[in-house]
Structure 1
Amino acid sequence: MSKMSTEMVRHALNGPTMGTRWSALFFAPNGFDPSPVHAALQASVDEVDDQMSTWKPDSDLMRLNAAPVGTQVMVPDRLREVLRLGLEIGRASGGAFDIGMGDAVTAWGFGPEAAAPEGISAAMAATRRPAHEVLGIDGDQVRKSSPIALDLNGIAKGYGVDRLAETLRDHGIAGALVGIDGEMRALGLRPDGKAWTIAVEAPDPDRRTPHSILALQDAAVATSGDYRHWVEVQGRRLSHTMDPKRGAPLIASPASVTVVARTCAEADAWATALMVLGPDAGAALARKRGLDALFLLRNDDRSTRGVGVGRLFPEESAAIASAEGR
């Protein structure tokens, strides 16, 4: 067999999704046509967006939101899978992760509409029950027992990353790195037998710089932070992450929380939950759940320190952590 026939060629594909872009990096034999793979990858994230977007009035999620309380609503498999996982992590986190915060997200201007003072007041005054107490899933049908506005922004991108990974596997690609807006998942190893390297970003709103490096094999990573998406109220930046107890953005939170998990949907949701809980309660729950998590905290002098939990993040001084076979 000639060298030419076994040479591995690098392919870096990308496309639009969920207001940002997806990416896929993999290697394939010389002569491999990436066009069908690119089309399949785009279709996979389009399906997630079509089902779970709050920016599309005709999405399956918005159809569920519009349904009257008590009505059984048939939803597609992928949306149902994400709803079920969201409720599971919501319950496990004591409501810190809550997919029922759509009214607050919209009111504070993190949805398709500008912030609205009346909506903010209503969201903060509302008597809330967490989504895992309100939403019931029976077969392929979902039912709301009381009014709730569902929002999947804390899990849908991670799930989209998982769909990218599954699509590559369906096309026979066993080693790859896929991502959406910083949420990443690694499949297998690089052709040289090394793990895929991913930077954990420093929580700096003005520039993108790495804080530390992860080496991932068959694992996913997601970060929730206060430094990329925010609103400014009376001169104070407020994170897009909502406090379910207040119906408002978090007032005091870590600068960021990074979680490594088996799937990106799980990492995405748990990063949000631990962000809400904060470094003390969040770290305690992460230890109890056996999660690998890194909390980055701001000191008074604006420097950053880390609190690590789990095998991958034993201490701040570890600049490189690996995640093989999570």
Structure 2
Amino acid sequence: MSTDSQRYSLNGETMGTRYSAVFYAEAGLDIEAISRSLAQAVERVDQQMSLWKADSDLNRLNAAPEQTWLPVPKELASVLATALRVSQQSAGAFDIAVGDRVEAWGFGPCAPTITAHNVDTLAPRPRLSAHGGLTVDLQRHQVRKHAPLHLNLNAIAKGFGVDELARCLDGFGLTRYLVGIDGEMRARGVKPDAQPWVVAVEKPCRGRREVMGVMELCDAAIATSGDYRHWVDLEGRQYAHTLDPATGAPLCNTIAAVTVVAASCMLADAWATALMVLGEIEGPRLAQARGMDALFVLREGDQLKEISIVDGILQAQIENRPIQTPPTNTSPAQP
């Protein structure tokens, strides 16, 4: 690529938030074609995997009868197969068959209003996992439920959407870019000055957005799962939107957030949730065993503790970082 490459920036709405694409290339690109391709890619993912669209392929699957093969788009089949694989590898910590419980706790499109008076009705109950109740045929692009399942892809679809944005730019021959949907990002190559892409990692503070640090990306993806974006407050007690598949109830551990760096954003997205569910002991242990790159942020009283794992090796732990800091005008690092 010539040294006079130009910086381009495109963005739009998707999945209740926004997508973005920043890339460097020589002048003269057909930006309108690239913009259309990006918009179509995320719209295709949303149409297939959203619970908020009544006619989505995911809602069609949830309504389908058991023991019947149902044709689905190849993208949806791929995401479902990946979800089942991560579920197996995480001993069930990642499970997309929690849709009914997500709704029951007030986090879905048809969710009831949760109050302190009806929270007792949400007691844990036996349930079948997606790994045990769903079969995916990748070759024929079809799936079959073995029991009534209400699937929810919120912990993996956004990451897949980011990968689709990357696939679009790859198709146009672009080799220096950073794409993202909300806080899930994927980078290819480096910037023209040979510097890696820099993305912000949020401090897990409820009610405001604050940067805790930054990470450098080159040919990698990053995703974060946390308890600080979506929650319900019942008489002073806050219940986060991430559910423990074992109980069907919001998590009850000290992890405030987990950030994972992986080859694909779909995997980073799913594993960030899985490691968060596993908790402060088993999460880092599995990340080390699998040779992963992960950052765990734990709440300990009014302090935060960071556990960093790089290539499966535990790094120095940072303790006693205050949760509350004076408000600032900081914003995510610019690519």
TM-score, normalized by length of structure 1?
0.91
Conserved? CA contact 1:293–1:313, under 8 Å: no
SS at 1:193 equivalent? coil
SS at 1:283 equivalent? helix
Alignment of structure 1 residues 1-326 onto 2, 5 Å: 7-115=4-112, 124-138=123-137, 139-300=140-301, 302-311=302-311, 314-316=315-317
CA change 1:236–1:187 in 2 (3 A) is same
Conserved? CA contact 1:71–1:144, under 8 Å: yes
Query: How much has 1:6 moved relative to structure 2?
Result: 6.0
CA change 1:313–1:187 in 2 (3 A) is farther
Q: Deviations over 1:291-310 (max 9, x none)?
A: 1111101121x221101122
Number of matched residues? Answer: 313
Q: Deviations over 1:104-151 (max 9, x none)?
A: 111112111233569977764442121111101133221111111000
CA distance in 1, matches of 2:8, 2:152: 34
The aligned amino acid for 1:309 is I
CA change 1:49–1:194 in 2 (3 A) is same
Query: How much has 1:265 moved relative to structure 2?
Result: 0.4
Structure 1 unpaired stretches of 5+: 319-326
SS at 1:232 equivalent? strand
CA distance in 2, matches of 1:142, 1:123: 30
Q: Deviations over 1:169-189 (max 9, x none)?
A: 001111100001100000111
Aligned to 1:322: none
CA distance in 2, matches of 1:128, 1:204: 32
Q: Deviations over 1:186-211 (max 9, x none)?
A: 01111111110111111112332222
CA RMSD of aligned residues (A): 2.0
CA distance in 1, matches of 2:79, 2:254: 26
Aligned to 2:330: none
SS at 2:97 equivalent? coil
Query: How much has 1:75 moved relative to structure 2?
Result: 0.7
Moved segments of 4+, more than 3 Å? 116-126
CA distance in 2, matches of 1:169, 1:76: 21
CA distance in 1, matches of 2:11, 2:174: 16
CA change 1:147–1:120 in 2 (3 A) is farther
Q: Percent identity?
A: 50
Aligned to 1:323: none
TM-score, normalized by length of structure 2?
0.89
Residue range with higher mean Cα deviation, 169-178 or 112-121:
112-121
Structure 2 unpaired stretches of 5+: 320-335
SS at 1:95 equivalent? coil
CA distance in 2, matches of 1:26, 1:121: 50
Aligned to 1:321: none
The aligned amino acid for 1:12 is S
The aligned amino acid for 1:129 is L
CA distance in 2, matches of 1:41, 1:15: 9
Q: Deviations over 1:66-97 (max 9, x none)?
A: 00111111111000000000000001001100
CA distance in 1, matches of 2:317, 2:206: 21
CA distance in 2, matches of 1:37, 1:140: 28
SS at 1:255 equivalent? strand
CA change 1:296–1:125 in 2 (3 A) is closer
Q: Deviations over 1:31-77 (max 9, x none)?
A: 33311111100000000000000111110011010001111111110
